[in-house]
Amino acid sequence: MVFVWQNGDLNDEQTDAVRYDGSVFLAACPGSGKTRALTYKIALELSKLESERHWVVAITYTHRAAEEIAERIERLGVSTDRLWIGTIHSFCLDWIIRPYAIYHDRLANGFRVIDQHETDDILTELCQQSPNFVRPLDCRYYFTTVGFELEGANPNRRAAAAVLQRYWDRLREHRQLDFEMILSCAHDLIASNPSISVLLGSLFRYILVDEYQDTKEIQYAIIAAILRVSAGNTRTFIVGDPNQAIYGSLGGYAMTRPEFEARAGVDLAEKSLSNNYRSSERIVGYFSNYCVVPAVIEAVGKDRDYGSFISFDQQINHQELDDEIVRLIRHNIETLGISPREICVVGPQWVQLAAITRRLVAALPEYNFDGPGMAPFSRDQDNIWFKISRLALTRPEPQMFVRRMRWAGEVLEHFRSVGIDTSKTSRRDLLRHCNQIEIPVDDGLEYLELFFDELLLALGIDIVLFPSLDDHRTAFFERSRIQIERLENAGVQAVSNIAMFRRVFAARSGITISTIHGVKGAEFDSVIAFALLEGMVPHFADSNVLDSAKKLLYVIASRPRKNLHLIAEVGRVNGIGEPYETTNILAEHVFGYDLMEAIE
């Protein structure tokens, strides 16, 4: 039965994009219901599949986005059995590399994907051995279809390239791949074996791409190759916002519709979502000034007429920054009635956030703090023990059932991929085993170690027979101990307690601490952003300063529904002792900011 939604579920723009019977290139402003449109499009196309061999594929920028969309589709009552959804790296592993590794010299004899922590360790060692001054930071790179590029403006390019060559040789010797190599190897296989694209093109009825503005050139090439050979059997639905393209230094860029049409050999209908349901009219009016690509954005949500407070302070000394952020937090909670879980403190990088988090926790002991960097254990999404930890740390509550069932499926699939026979274990069986395990300890890592042991025993799995599981387990606990130590050094209390571990997968309950990149896609009632300084926003190594600054400010200012507080503190100095100045585009923008004195 073809999926039909209720009147009022989608607005006219969303309905036009979702119902269009062809390939679509959709530009969506912040708060426009982009995820809703994407969800309904996937549900519609899933309901129209006529063969058990056909699939709908949705490629998201993060695992979190994939999870959210899959849950929404299931709540709509549409089966997700023929949906594959995940990141581009997971797509390449599942559909290209694992099935066809035998056709790639580097992969034919087996391989293991290493995580970012392992990459950092190897690069640290090799940098120390280099006769030149090279940091692991200098060696960050990404692949294109014609080679590799170093991230950002790098003064040590030649020395960094030499270290990278040794790094790649090391990985080849140990039959290892890092995340960037996943894309490179997948492209190699697609390019040298056109029959792979032909087969995938016959299987996929739709390929949907979320956040196209963050997609890399090599990713476009992989998707375009499949579309081109499908002879029109595979269509695409590409969604994003070019004004939020803040991953340029990492290789991401907002490919234009004509560019993608030329690569993929498809016609794309250009459509847009211009209604902002998130923010007040004043907030929308403010962030619209930072558009790089012209866009019409209209506030239409329930908070449209809210009397937003928008402040900008470029006089406060950095030594008084903590007190000012505390003052703003208290004002939003105690005077404006904003819930703590609807407040976000944003900084450019974790190096600034780590220091301020410790002091905010001490200054506001009555409130909890949340954030990706606050997790007390390794959050490597591709590590099997992280996947199992999600089941270990969440309770069997009705509202979690659908999510935990999907997690159980991912665990079983990982087991199958390493050669474990799971034919007699269903997702429900795995959940039942997990639900029956009781570990009466308070230490989080000890709890997980004992939980893992009991689960393996219940499933009859001898980890010694599967070296990759053992390697993943060692890496999980080593990285988790490092993370706990980092948080403890930052002053976070009770970080190793099981209660802190459980909070990672619980609903957001405290004040969020995040980087600008980390907060993209999220929304809050109030946002407090600091360190809006040239050289930080944008980063000093960014090659396109003006556009990058605009896009970063656009992302920050489009997160809040109600209130926005911008701070460019004085007194900070860079590595050579020069003072940071306010981000130029922010300093030059004329706006009727609210006075800070008004919130005494």
Q: State the Cα–Cα distance between residues 167 and 127, nearest whole angstrom.
A: 10
Contact 313, 567 (CB under 8 A): yes
**pLDDT given at position 392:** 96
Q: Please report, to the nearest 10 degrees, the dihedral formed by the alpha carbons of residues 321, 323, 325, 327 taken in order.
A: -150
List Cβ neighbours of 395 (8 Å cut-off, separation of 6 or more).
Answer: none
pLDDT score of 357: 80
Half-sphere exposure (Cβ direction) of 594: Cα atoms closer than 13 Å? 18
Q: Which residues contact 290 (CB under 8 A, 6 or more apart)?
A: 243, 550, 551, 553, 554, 557, 585
Our CA angle for 150, 154, 156, nearest 5°, is 100
**What global pTM score does this model have?**
0.88
Helix and strand numbers (H, E) in the chain are: 23, 18
Give the model's pLDDT for residue 479.
86
Structure tokens, 65? 């986005």
List the structure tokens of 442. 């308070």
| Between 570 and 350, residue with greater pLDDT | 570
Q: What three-state secondary structure class fits 175?
A: coil
The region of weakest confidence among 25-34, 174-183, 590-599 is 590-599
* Residue 596: predicted pLDDT: 61
Residues with Cβ within 8 Å of residue 128, at least 6 apart in sequence = none
Q: Give me 550's structure tokens.
A: 């605009």
Pairwise pLDDT comparison (405 vs 402), residue with the higher score: 405
Q: What is the pLDDT of residues 55-98, one digit of tens each?
A: 999 999 988 889 889 989 988 999 999 999 999 999 999 999 99
pLDDT at 356: 84
- Phi/psi at 347 (nearest 5 deg)? -135, 160
What's the half-sphere exposure (Cβ side, CA atoms, 13 Å) at 279? 32
Band of pLDDT at residue 202, cut at 50, 70 and 90: very high
Give the separation between CA 168 and CA 176, rounded to whole angstroms: 9
What is the tens place of the pLDDT at every residue in 245-258?
A: 998 878 888 999 99
More confident residue, 317 or 132: 317
Which tokens in the block code for residue 323? 């007190």
pLDDT of residue 572: 92
Q: Average pLDDT for residues 213-226, to the nearest whole number?
A: 96
Geometric angle at alpha carbon 528, from 525 and 529, rounded to 5°: 135
For the cut 80, the answer to whether the pLDDT of residue 205 exceeds it is yes
491-514 residue pLDDT tens: 677 889 999 899 888 877 789 999
Burial class, 378, CB count within 10 angstroms (exposed 0-12 / middle 13-18 / buried 19+): buried
**Residue of 376, 384, 367, 269 lying closest to 22 (CA atoms):** 269
Count of Cβ atoms closer than 10 Å to residue 427 Cβ: 17
Q: Report the 10 Å Cβ neighbour count for 116.
A: 12
DSSP labels for 274-325? -EE-SS-HHHHHHHGGG-SS----EE-STTTT----EEEES-SBGGGHHHHH
How far is residue 277's CA from residue 13's CA, in Å, rounded to a whole number?
Answer: 13
Taking the C-alpha atoms of residue 41 and residue 30, their distance in angstroms, rounded to an integer, is: 19
3-state secondary structure of 345: strand
The average confidence (pLDDT) of the chain is 92
Task: Label residue 542 by pLDDT band (50, 70, 90).
Answer: low
3-state secondary structure 347-369: ECCHHHHHHHHHHHHHHCCCCCE
Residue (of 298, 397, 363, 311) closest to 511 by Cα position: 363
Tokens 């909890």 identify what position?
368
284, two tokens: 């929308």
Judge contact between 520 and 246, C-beta under 8 A. yes
Residue 333: strand, helix, or coil: helix
Find tokens 């009825």 and name the residue: 205
Higher-scoring residue by pLDDT: 206, 134: 206
Instruction: Please check the confidence at residue 146 and state whether its pLDDT lies above 90.
Output: yes
Which helix (H) or strand (E) segment is 59 a member of?
strand 55-60
Average pLDDT over residues 108-126: 88
β-partners of residue 312 are 566
In this prediction, residue 152 has a pLDDT band, given cuts at 50, 70 and 90, of low
User: Looking at the predicted structure, is the pLDDT value of residue 372 above 90?
Assistant: no
3-state DSSP of 399-455: HHHHHHHHHHHHHHHHHHHCCCCCCCCCHHHHHHHHHHCCCCCCEHHHHHHHHHHHH
Q: What is the pLDDT of residue 144?
A: 96
Q: How many Cα atoms sit within 13 Å of 124 on the Cβ side?
A: 6
pLDDT of residue 117: 76
Q: What is the pLDDT of residue 350?
A: 75
Position 280 pLDDT exceeds 70 = yes
Average pLDDT for 572-578: 86
Summarize pLDDT for 444-469 with one digit per residue, the tens: 999 999 999 999 999 999 999 998 89
What token pair was written down for 78? Answer: 């549409």
Return the closest-CA partner of residue 300 out of 571, 583, 561: 561
| Per-residue tokens: 286 | 């403010």
Say how far apart CA 233 and CA 72 lie, in whole Å.
Answer: 26
Among the residue ranges 150-154, 305-309, 370-374, the one predicted with the least confidence is 370-374
What confidence tens digit (pLDDT) does each residue in 288-328 have?
999 999 999 999 999 999 999 999 999 999 999 999 999 99
* Of 269-278, 352-361, 383-392, 518-527, minimum mean pLDDT range: 352-361
Cβ–Cβ under 8 Å, residues 589 and 321: no
* Helix/strand/coil for 143: strand
428, with CB counted inside 10 A (0-12, 13-18, 19+), is exposed
pLDDT value of position 375:
79
The answer to whether residues 525 and 563 touch, using CB atoms and an 8 Å cutoff, is yes
CA atoms within 13 A on the CB side of 7: 0
The pLDDT of residue 275 is above 90 = yes
Q: How far, in Å, CA of 595 to CA of 552, rounded?
A: 23
pLDDT at residue 1, as a whole number: 84
Listed in order, strand segments (DSSP E) in 445-578 are 511-515, 524-529, 560-567
Per-residue pLDDT at 599: 54
